[in-house]
Chain A
Amino acid sequence: MTTSTVPVEAAAPTVPVPPARRRRGRLRTVLLGLPVPLLFLLLWHVGRENAWELPFGIRMGFLPYPADVARGLANYAFGTRDDAFSNLLWEDLPASALRVLSGFALATLVAVPLGVLMGRFSTAHALFDPMINLFRPIPATAWVPLVALLIGYGDQASIFLITLSAFFPVVLGTISGARQVPERLLEAARMLGTSGVGTLLRVVLPAAAPAIVNGMRVGLGLSWVILVLSETTGVPTGLGSTIFLARDVVQTDQIVVGMICIAVAGFLSDRLLMLLFRVLFRDRPLIK
């Protein structure tokens, strides 16, 4: 710089929250999060002991004790009592995770490009929207018999059901994101020399990123929801298959163990997805 005007305004300062206060805030959140689950466990235990009958005809006498579930979980993970379920977690979890990942990845791979096209081009929207509206209300459960006939039993059927379920939230998220791209940014890109296809990649995709990421999170969550159902298709290993096996041998604690494992896996996979985005995007403002 040789002369005159140096920018006088500075970037808006971000006031950092003092770490002590932030820690106190987190502690408060943790403390407030505890009482309700603890009460739930206590009621569960007492209800089991007294064989309470609850609305909906819930007979708590048929439940395992929370402590039984904890023991079952230990056995499932570390083989603490040597039965049919000992150590199975380390076979079931990878098998299930692989199905979820394959189904979800396949769904995303199709849904994002299709959603971008449908969000930006009325012709593409007119072509595919009726099909999406036709298929979306069909629950995955209703697909199971047909899939059994068309694909048979096994991994392919299982992955197909997951793909089908994860597809809709991702495509709908992408469509709404692609529609809301500020016109100004498209004008800016074109005036800077971006081609038509270029604007889809360089403007629509990044501008729609928050909506796409949201759709992907919903889709991934749904993949885990559908997992149990998708493992009724006769796959031998998996968190869902083991739940059905436990039902067949009437081992209720193992059923609950399976439910807990799926919940934890679903939760962790959402965290992993967000971590992946954070690693990919770093501090780039792409996720709101």
Chain B
Amino acid sequence: MEHLAAGRTADVRIAGLTKNYAGAVTAMADVDLTIPSGEFVAVVGASGCGKSTLLRILAGFEQPSAGVVEVGGTPVTGPGPDRGVVFQDYGLFPWLSVRENVGYGPARKKLPKAEVAAITDRFIAAVGLTRFAGKYPAQLSGGMQQRVAIARVLANDPSLLLMDEPFGALDALTRSDLQAELKRIHVDTRTTVVFVTHSIEEAVFLADRVVVMTGGAAHGVPGHISRIVPVELADRDVTSPPFNEVKREIAELVHTVPEPV
């Protein structure tokens, strides 16, 4: 794999964030979270606690009902290429080849053709898909499609990478491959990452800090952050006792049912 140069990076400031959906569903209330530039944050929590909502607000797909959401000091008003989103279902354009999908963002920036081509080649190589550059998404396996989706947002040089259960639909082997790749990419680029997952092991393996959320409509409490656990393991060996210590601590938090108000 090729090494990537350091990219852009930005801090995130969320304060007093509340989101109500139509029909008086308060998906989350009073969420505060500050993420320094370059940090890798994982978000875990039971289904319906508002993880996706939080990510979609950061992406600009949803508007907050109240509160402040800033990325790199600028309030988020809508989606933009400075915040790359990787979806669980990839969201690749089926009618574009791997090369065209990855080159899509740079081409929108009206860069010269040669530069678009160079960027595209670099990021396709970075995810190890050079031989598949001419293929269409339907001709690739799920793992390869998600690699394309990652290369596609990285080619935009985002300062924030938002990932919603990106490896949730992949088999265990592909999943651990992609985790290792993502980690390497993060070490190279130092882009800030917010990574939503259901796998506590994945969260502990990847993240600098794990945000644990609870609540949600099913519990009669709006979704909120219950604890932020720093992962201070030098060695992320998933079989090591310290790793499992952290995993257990987070699992307990995730399974603690919040008191209804």
Binding site for B on A (CB under 8 A): 1-12, 184-185, 187-194, 198, 203, 206-207, 209, 283-286
Given contacts A8-B173, A191-B80, 10 further A-B contacts (CB under 8 A): A6-B128, A10-B141, A187-B59, A187-B87, A190-B61, A191-B83, A192-B152, A284-B136, A285-B95, A285-B138
Say yes or no: A184 contacts B141, CB within 8 Å. Answer: no
Chain B residues whose C-beta falls within 8 Å of the C-beta of A285 in the assembled complex: 94-95, 136, 138
Q: Tell me the complex Cα distance, A90–B153, Å.
A: 57
User: What are 20 A-to-B residue pairs whose CB atoms are below 8 Å?
Assistant: A1-B1, A6-B128, A7-B144, A7-B177, A8-B173, A8-B177, A9-B143, A11-B135, A11-B141, A11-B144, A12-B141, A187-B79, A187-B85, A187-B87, A188-B87, A190-B78, A191-B153, A192-B105, A192-B152, A206-B93
Q: Tell me the complex Cα distance, A284–B98, Å.
A: 12
- In chain B, what residue has the closest Cβ to A205? B95
- In chain A, what residue has the closest Cβ to B138? A285
Chain A residues whose C-beta falls within 8 Å of the C-beta of B173 in the assembled complex: 8
Given A4-B180, A187-B61, A187-B85, A192:B141 Cβ within 8 A: no
- Give a binary string over B130-154; 1 marks a CB under 8 Å from any A CB, 0 the rest: 0010011011110110010000110
Q: What are the 10 tightest A-B residue pairs by CB atom distance, in nearest-first order?
A: A193-B81, A188-B91, A9-B141, A190-B79, A192-B105, A193-B108, A191-B79, A184-B91, A191-B85, A206-B95
Say yes or no: B1 contacts A4, CB within 8 Å. Answer: yes
- In chain B, what residue has the closest Cβ to A7? B128
Say yes or no: A209 contacts B108, CB within 8 Å. Answer: no
Say which size band chain B's interface belongs to.
35 or more
Binding site for A on B (CB under 8 A): 1-3, 59-61, 78-81, 83-85, 87, 89, 91-95, 104-105, 108-109, 125, 128-129, 132, 135-136, 138-141, 143-144, 147, 152-153, 156, 173-174, 177, 180-181, 184
Q: Tell me the complex Cα distance, A185–B3, Å.
A: 29
Least CB distance from B86 to A in Å reads 10
Least CB distance from A72 to B in Å reads 47
Say yes or no: A5 contacts B1, CB within 8 Å. Answer: yes
Say yes or no: B135 contacts A191, CB within 8 Å. Answer: no
Chain A residues whose C-beta falls within 8 Å of the C-beta of B156 in the assembled complex: 192-193
Say yes or no: B81 contacts A1, CB within 8 Å. Answer: no
Given A1-B1, A2-B3, A191-B84, A11:B140 Cβ within 8 A: yes
Given A192-B105, A192-B153, A193-B109, A12:B139 Cβ within 8 A: yes
- In chain B, what residue has the closest Cβ to A284? B95
Choose one: A5, A187, A203; the contact of B128 (CB below 8 Å): A5
Least CB distance from A213 to B in Å reads 13
- In chain A, what residue has the closest Cβ to B100? A284
Say yes or no: A185 contacts B180, CB within 8 Å. Answer: no
Least CB distance from B40 to A in Å reads 18
Chain A residues whose C-beta falls within 8 Å of the C-beta of B125 in the assembled complex: 1
